[in-house]
Amino acid sequence: MATVTTAYMKRPILWVSGDWNAFFGFGTNILVNMLVLTGLLRFVLKMPDSIVFGRILPALGLMMCLSTMYYAWLSYWLASKTGRDDVCALPSGVSVPHMFIVTFVIMLPIALKTNDPIKGWEAGLVWVFFQSFILMIGGFIAPIVRRITPRAALLGTLAGVSVTFISMRPALEMYMTPIIGLTCFAIIMVSWFGNFKYPRNIPAGLIAIAVGMLIAWGSNLFGLGYGRHEQSPGRVLPFFPAYLAGMNVVVLADDAFSFLVAWEFMSLTSWALVVSHHREAENVRAGYIYLLMASFGTLALLLAFGVLVGGSGHYDFAAIRGVQPTANVASAVLLLALIGAGSKAGLMPLHAWLPLAHPAAPSHVSGLMSGVMTKVAVYGFVRIVFDLLGPPEWWWSMVVLGVGGPSATLGVLYALMQRDMKRVLAYSTIENIGIVFVGLGLALAFKAEAMGWVAALAFTAALLHIFNHAAFKSLLFFGAGSVLNATGERDMEKLGGLIHRMPQTAIAMLIGCVAISALPPFNGFVSEWLTFQAILLSPQLPSWGLKLIIPAVGGLLALAAALAAACFVKLFGVSFLGRARTPVAAEAREADRFSLAAMFALAALCLVAGIFPGLFIDALAPVAKTMVGNSMPHQASLEWLTIVPIAESRSSYNGLLVFIFVLLSGSIASVAIRIDSP
């Protein structure tokens, strides 16, 4: 409890907003300590539950209430007497070092010797009785020691004791469940050292607890199923939460230094996950190429920020926004940002690592690398080019379009030629990243020509495709991982007939294949349709260069969409339809319920985003408004949940009606087939 006084108040304030952090921090600490104490009493000392829950814990609760009230009264009295506004009541609870010392040094030996845990407990009470006299004597000696001892010595000793006995225990316990502990630790560090304020001043401790619970539930959902098949969990578990934390800090960074450090940390932890199965030579080679390309990309981003900052020495983004770079500097930064972010995103010709690293990594890691990490790279490009560089030049879009269009088409062409299921998905990531960069290139073109409403359309299409790709590509990687666990094979030619052995996995994979093929009513169709709507408005641009290149890129996207449909018809048909071509496929078993739950949750997300796209478009409107100065019209208020990107007279789409039509058509066809069958 903090107490604050002002010139207009005679009584100290009992509660201020900053006390919420202390409340959640110390409250959680006391709860954990009580649980630990309960475990020591029940499982180490073997004390009966009637004593633990009937006497000890109620007495402990009463003691903490009385001591907390006493400390609060002391704080209030001191603040009232001195007029100070920095008085804070001491926290009261169970001492962690004292708890373990008394248990293992005094109580446990006596309990073991007498074979009576109650005797051990009585010995502990005797020790506490004598300890109270020691503390009382210390209360009289402490003022004398404080007068003759330098303050630095006292504070140094206190800090050493605190770090050793209080901080080190939870710091080491983070690694007992690292996926939760390290992520929550990163949230706390971002708040404390990054001076980052969470929305509505929600305490960082509360957010850390909530995020930890969500990660625990979510990771258990798929990890309980997939993780049991992991041969080397010790090479995955320590790096997976660190990888998550690195990606989060990249997005939260508000200065170039933090951004680059987090970017490199993300690269190194993902490399460790790629080479987790290091006994396979192919995986080691994949890790080497990935690390080489990651270092090259980080170097390019380092140069980009160096050129952008120049000699000012101010690396925070707010200061960078206030400096208008020259045309040559801006052009150099654009190219460096495209190289640095493009190499991490998998743009051609910087894609060499992607089809090697994705199959080498565990399937749930591959899903994150394709569905999330490549999008963090896109975020880096957007942050630099749309936010920090200032107003764009029209020819910037030609560079971005010239990379995005061929990446989309060549990526899906490479995917068509693969037999490895995970490698098909890896090359498909290149295609989808190309589609995203086409949308960003269109947004740059329209923004440079002061066509803000069309720029918002293209930018929203790119952001929506980022979200859609994260959903259906994670679903497909999870499905590929389930097939790999069931059969031990990634080669599609050695599978076949899995729809009979793994029907639920087949349904989830079918939904993912339809979504990634950009077929309605699923989410992949909406974002690509919006991108084509922006392409159709390119004749309004004044530049003849853009009038020529944008229709050509549109043709490449149309070809990529058709090839993607053929690619995933092949993937699903060869792997799941027909008859089993090998014994492992014939003996495959359905995935566990946790893996299926994770896949069907993503499948439902793909369907919801396809049926109700207006809700997702409206959610992206503030981002588009900030980056391109405009946003799409509000969509959720339109009748029948229709989306109208430009004008109703030009184009509109209603995912709900399409879904109902598909559902009715399928039902009628199913009934007709059953009637005609003998």
Instruction: Of 16-25, 197-206, 313-322, give the range with the top mean pLDDT.
Output: 313-322
CB 440 within 8 A of CB 464: no
Buried b (16+ CB within 10 A) or exposed e, 637-671: eeeebbbbbbeeeeeebbbbebbeeeeeeeeeeee
Least reliable range by pLDDT among 106-120, 310-324, 420-434, 661-675: 310-324
Distance, CA of 299 to CA of 316 (rounded, Å): 19
Q: Which carries the bigger pLDDT value, residue 25 or residue 460?
A: 460
Q: How far is CA 475 from CA 14, 228, 480, 506, 599, in A?
A: 51, 19, 9, 12, 6
Segment 79-133, tens digit of pLDDT: 888 877 777 776 677 776 677 778 878 888 888 888 888 888 888 888 877 777 7
Segment 471-502, tens digit of pLDDT: 898 889 888 888 888 888 888 988 888 898 89
β-partners of residue 87 are 3
Segment 63-84, tens digit of pLDDT: 888 888 887 888 888 888 887 7
Q: Which carries the bigger pLDDT value, residue 452 or residue 507?
A: 507
- The pLDDT value recorded for residue 512 is 93
Q: Mean pLDDT, to the nearest integer, of 131-151? A: 71
Q: Which carries the bigger pLDDT value, residue 459 or residue 640?
A: 459
Q: Mean pLDDT, to the nearest integer, of 558-565? A: 92
- The pLDDT value recorded for residue 361 is 74
Average pLDDT of the chain, as a whole number: 80
Indicate the DSSP class of residue 520.
Answer: T
pLDDT above 70 (res 5): no
Give the pLDDT band (50/70/90) at residue 4: very low
Least reliable range by pLDDT among 19-33, 168-182, 566-580, 640-654: 168-182
Give the pLDDT band (50/70/90) at residue 252: confident
Q: Give phi and psi for 643, each to the nearest 5.
A: -110, 135
Give the pLDDT band (50/70/90) at residue 294: confident
CB 475 within 8 A of CB 606: yes
Distance, CA of 287 to CA of 360 (rounded, Å): 8
- The pLDDT value recorded for residue 241 is 76
Tokens of 469: 């790709």
Q: Which long-range contacts (CB under 8 A, 24 or more apart) does 568-571 make?
A: 568/428, 568/513, 568/514, 568/516, 568/517, 569/513, 569/517, 570/416, 570/492, 571/421, 571/424, 571/492, 571/513
- The pLDDT value recorded for residue 156 is 57
pLDDT above 80 (res 192): no
Q: Mean pLDDT, to the nearest integer, of 284-305? A: 88
Distance, CA of 178 to CA of 492 (rounded, Å): 35
Distance, CA of 464 to CA of 459 (rounded, Å): 9
DSSP 245-280: HHHHHHHH--BHHHHHHHHHHHHHHHHHHHTTTTTS
- The pLDDT value recorded for residue 579 is 87
Segment 27-65, tens digit of pLDDT: 767 777 777 788 778 877 888 888 888 888 888 888 888
Cβ count near 128 (within 10 Å): 12
- Nearest CA to 459 out of 630, 624, 646 is that of 624
Q: Which residue type does 112 have?
A: L
